[in-house]
Amino acid sequence: MKKIFSFLLISLFITLSLHAQLDRSQRPQPGPAPVIQLGDFETFTLRNGLQVIVVENDKVPVVSWQLTLNIDPILEGDAKGYVNLAGSLMREGTKSRSKQKIDEEVDFIGASFSTFSTGMFGSSLKRHTATLLEIMSDVLLNPTFPEAELQRSLTQTKSGLATIRNDANAIARNVSQVAVYGSDHPYGEILTPETIDNINAAMLQDYYNTYFKPNVAYLVVVGDIKAREARRMANKYFGKWKKGDVPSHVYPTPAVPEGNRVAFGDRTGAVQSVVYVTYPVAFTPGHPDAIKASVMNSVLGGGVFSGRLMQNLREDKGYTYGARSNLSSDRLVGRFTASTEVRNSVTDSTVVEIMGEMRRLINEPVEEETLQLVKNFMNGSFARSLESPRTIANFALNIKRYNLPEDYYATYLEKLAAVSVSDVQAMAAKYLKPDNAIVVVAGNRDEVADNLKKFSATRQIELFDAFGRPVEGPRVVTGEITAHNVIEGYIAAIGGKQKVQAIEDVTTVMSATIQGMTIEAVNKQKAPDMFYMAMSMGGNIMQKQVFDGTRGKVSAMGQSQEITGDDLKDLRLQAALFPELRLAELGYTLELAGIETLEGEEVYRVRFTSPTGSVRNEYFSLETGLRKSTQISQDTPMGSMTVVTNYSDYREVNGVLFPFSISQQLGPQMLDMKVTSIEVNSGLSAADFNVD
């Protein structure tokens, strides 16, 4: 008992002593920055000029080889895309190996191997290194760029571009690139369907012949390998690579605008806006301000949840799920971007808040507690990155490529610890330009654009299409033309009112291929408003929707649900056969929104508002009168999305024109339906639309 009592007294004495020594009203001062012991690496140069960096790591029996060209960006002009294709298609065939053989050999040894426009990467177990390098060497020295693989890639790329017009994030990226860098700069070139059409195999071969030279390349070797062995293997597999002269390129340096600009990319029907505040920055890799500027950007919104943009726009205002800023370096020109995605009604308020936070960092010193929190986060991120031997390899590569001091990374934490409140404010004053920025918004022009004019120094908004090409705003329709005139013109274009009214029922069969599987859709409609739609795969119905003129039901995955409320009212409108003949009866109101350009063709845009309040935009060709596209926003389990349906390949059936090609896009998904048959007046009865 005495011993226990003694221990308690001793513990109490120690506790009281410590309490007396610590002043908890004062925040503990951070300790000295730890000294970084970067892993060792060795470098050497082959006779052909190839510079090799070796980072040994015997913890795992794996060796990776990364080849990187140190060349200037290429201005591709009206064939934008060929440089990336040259890189990706290098591994699609050589003089002695087909794509299939390359894939099989790589898979057999369990390796990874990829090529890109500025090099290639391969990784395998150590015992398969020679096999991997033999493949890599063959691809590097003997690519053939097979025509069949090129055409396949062109088709896939062009198909992927079809979704961009309905992707506000992609539109914002494209518009911002053009607005920041200009179309005469490599960073301002945008991939389009038209540039894809201009690409041929000769361009790919020419790019390879011109720029793939060892004297402008680095080979980074990481893994379970000694420098002596790496030198021997590099000589064996890459020593025959012939050096040559490589052209250099100089481009105009983009400058910040003299006053704020507003660049808008239309995403008709969108319920949210993607917002960028961006501009070019003279900020090269290894810049003396790099660490201090990075801290400043992290305070604003660079990846830390406590960043001011996140706290303001998400936590305080509830405008968005996330808001970020980024200050990137580049040897040609850097860039600042603050970005977020918000609902239409607060788009202009969001721009106000972003610029307000930029000005706040310029005008007010950051709190010491906030600064320390950011520095602690950056300290931890840097320390975690050192766990990967590839980090050491990348450090060595950057030191070589950008002529950085040898101790640039070794002193990182020391320099980070030294960043002060005054440093952050100085960096904000130097790199934040709330009065010389480009406000880029991709969204619904009808609801958002006019409210953004106040941010432009000229009070003008620059309009762009989805691929960053300047466009004129919608032209006001002059004269006596109304929305109803456009609809009458459409009825006349497809065959005339008399022939259209003579159609009592229509059965349409369509098919599409998705990931190698064929989907068939059967649509049946009977005047005035009976509707049946079934989608099947392999003869099995996946989804069915029926409306008998009064009741509606949807069935999928063995489950059925009665359609009620506004959904039933919308289904009745959807079920109407040729609703253009009786728009007033159905309760639609129409507005002629103007003349626009769609797919290079001038079109009327007519805004339809249904009795339930849903709005859709329809586009009719000025030249032919035919419907080109329909866009309508719908609520889905993934949030509100715009469904875009495009119509083409009109053909006559019983004197009336019907589209035989119908493509529909919902979010990132694109479905190209080809009509296989259309039958009219086949005698469909009410039994064909039985809901039960």
Q: What is the pLDDT of residues 181-198, one digit of tens each?
A: 999 999 999 999 999 999
Judge whether 300 and 357 are in contact, CB under 8 Å.
yes
Confidence tier at 85 by pLDDT (50, 70, 90): very high
d(CA 509, CA 677): 5
pTM above 0.85, yes or no: no
Residue 553, pLDDT > 80, answer yes
Judge whether 465 and 598 are in contact, CB under 8 Å.
no
- Looking at 73-172, which runs of residues are DSSP E strands? 112-116, 119-125
Three-state SS at 165: helix
Q: What is the pLDDT of residues 419-472, one digit of tens each?
A: 999 999 999 999 999 999 999 999 999 899 999 999 999 999 999 999 999 988
Of 104-118, 481-495, 588-602, 673-687, minimum mean pLDDT range: 588-602
d(CA 19, CA 531): 81
Residues 6+ apart with CB under 8 A from 280: 180, 181, 253, 254, 255, 256, 333, 334, 335
Mean pLDDT of 474-484: 83
Give the fold, CATH level 3, of 261-387+405-464: Cytochrome Bc1 Complex; Chain A, domain 1 (3.30.830)
Position 24 scores a pLDDT of 47
Confidence tier at 32 by pLDDT (50, 70, 90): low
Q: What is the pLDDT of residues 319-341, one digit of tens each?
A: 999 999 999 999 999 999 999 99
Residue 275, pLDDT > 70, answer yes
Q: At what angle do helices 347-363 and 290-300 cross, to 10 degrees?
A: 130
Residue 518, pLDDT > 60, answer yes
User: Candidates 3.90.320.10, 2.50.20.10, 2.20.25.10, 2.60.40.150; correct CATH number of 483-689?
Assistant: 2.50.20.10
Mean pLDDT of 241-270: 94
Judge whether 257 and 455 are in contact, CB under 8 Å.
no
- How is residue 506 written in tokens? 């229509």
Residues of the chain with CATH 3.30.830.10: 42-169+182-238, 261-387+405-464
- How is residue 580 written in tokens? 């253009």
φ, ψ at 471 (rounded to 5°):
-135, 155
Percent of residues, the chain, with pLDDT higher than 70: 93
Residues of the chain with CATH 2.50.20.10: 483-689
d(CA 126, CA 367): 51
Confidence tier at 37 by pLDDT (50, 70, 90): low
Q: What is the pLDDT of residues 652-686, one digit of tens each?
A: 999 999 999 999 877 667 788 999 999 999 999 99
Q: Per the CATH hierarchy, to which homologous superfamily does domain 42-169+182-238 belong?
A: Metalloenzyme, LuxS/M16 peptidase-like (3.30.830.10)
Computed over every residue of the chain, the mean pLDDT equals 90
Confidence tier at 632 by pLDDT (50, 70, 90): confident
Judge whether 278 and 257 are in contact, CB under 8 Å.
no
CA 475 to chain centre: 30
d(CA 425, CA 368): 12
Three-state SS at 450: helix
